[in-house]
Amino acid sequence: MRYSKRVESVSLSGIRKMFELAGENAISLGLGEPDFDTPLHIREAAQKAIEEGLTHYTVNKGIPELRGAISRKLQEDNNIEADPESIIVTVGASEALFMCMQALVDEGDHVLVPDPGFLSYAACVKLSGGIPVPIKLEESTEFRTTPESVLESLTDNTKAIVLNSPSNPTGGVMSKEDVKGLAEIADDHDIVLISDEIYEKIIYDEKHYSPGSYSENVVTINGFSKAYAMTGFRVGYTAASPELTEELLKVHQYTTACATSISQSAALAALEGPQDCVGEMVTEFKNRRDLLLKRLKELGIDCPTPKGAFYAFPEVPESEKFVKDALKRDVITVHGSSFGGYGRDNIRLSYATSQENINEAMDRLEDLKIV
């Protein structure tokens, strides 16, 4: 059978492959999923939606109440003016990213993607017929996407630039100067910034800045999976100019029609309900981060301090061997090459698991101590 060259050009997730190799007693430091239960008031909203029969199609863009709440959130938290009609509720941030590439990228167009960066970025570019061009992120600049690093990667064929702050897999956070500088580049070169802000609320000792507050050449992508521990609900959103939203809607309409009605009710409760649950989770993530860094140092592994998200990305000698040896000890980690060529000397560790699990995992790796 002959397959699409676009599909053959991408590989299945290296993160998921690790789980297929793991034993029953494995401790996962691999998957980027909060281990907390979805807050009760959000679950109750989903149950109420079912009981009230809100189980049918919604309008393509999403229920008006949710889009209105997202519009207010963007104004209050991100200083982004987004009319509810310029917002599309999506099946997670993953669909939002796919929509952007399908709507913006033609065969042969270049899209700049962070490297190391989330593996879906390059894959979605390839599935659209485009060419992913890496932006080299370095530990010396805290794995931030800077204007200087973008200008080094810019080509005449560049159509869009993907930004991700806080970052998966590095935990890097862009500064206000970074964000303003990148917005200026987008305006000067008429390039669209695709800003993945899914980890926006999981940030430590820093402040999040949105490119959409400085430029109209931006698609803001966000969602509910990480901040509200709602990964299984699969609900995210895009906010963009009216013209671009119209093109994004075409892709959304012919792929998923609408996000799940029940999940949209839950997302509305997440935005309009108490927010202390988010702060409590972030505080615990920070405690776990500090514990993981301490235990890594005891193993002889120096790691830059992540400023957001829930990942550590240390450089490790013989990184591929380390990942395999860790797996033999029932500890799941992810090799840095899953996130681009510039991550090949690193490993990613997710601390979205309990402090007890982190300590046990590090105990199992004690004999891999680096001297």
What is the DSSP secondary structure assignment for residue 315, as one 8-state letter?
A: B
The Cα 81–Cα 1 span in angstroms is 49
Classify 102 in phi/psi space as left (phi over 0), alpha (psi -120 to 50) or beta. alpha
The predicted model scores a pTM of 0.94
B/e letters for 225-259, b = 16+ CB within 10 Å, e = fewer, are bbbbbbbebbbbbbbbbeebbebbbebbeeebebb
DSSP string covering 58-108, please? --TT--HHHHHHHHHHHHHHH-----GGGEEEESHHHHHHHHHHHHH--TT
On the CB side of 54, CA atoms within 13 Å amount to 19
The Cα 264–Cα 148 span in angstroms is 39
Question: 14: how many CB neighbours lie within 10 A of its CB?
Answer: 16
Residue 24: predicted pLDDT: 77
Cis peptide before 166 (omega within 30 of 0): yes
Residue 356: predicted pLDDT: 97
The three-point CA angle 264-267-272 to 5° equals: 125
Residue 88: predicted pLDDT: 98
Q: In 3D, which of 259, 258, 223, 254 has the Cα closest to residue 238?
A: 223
Mean pLDDT by 10 residues, the chain (371 residues): 80 65 82 93 98 97 98 97 97 98 96 97 96 96 96 95 98 97 96 98 95 97 98 97 97 96 98 96 98 97 96 96 94 94 96 97 92 67
Label residue 294 exposed, middle or buried (CB < 10 Å: 0-12, 13-18, 19+): exposed
Residue 178: predicted pLDDT: 97
Q: CA Rg, the chain, in Å?
A: 20
The Cα 141–Cα 116 span in angstroms is 13
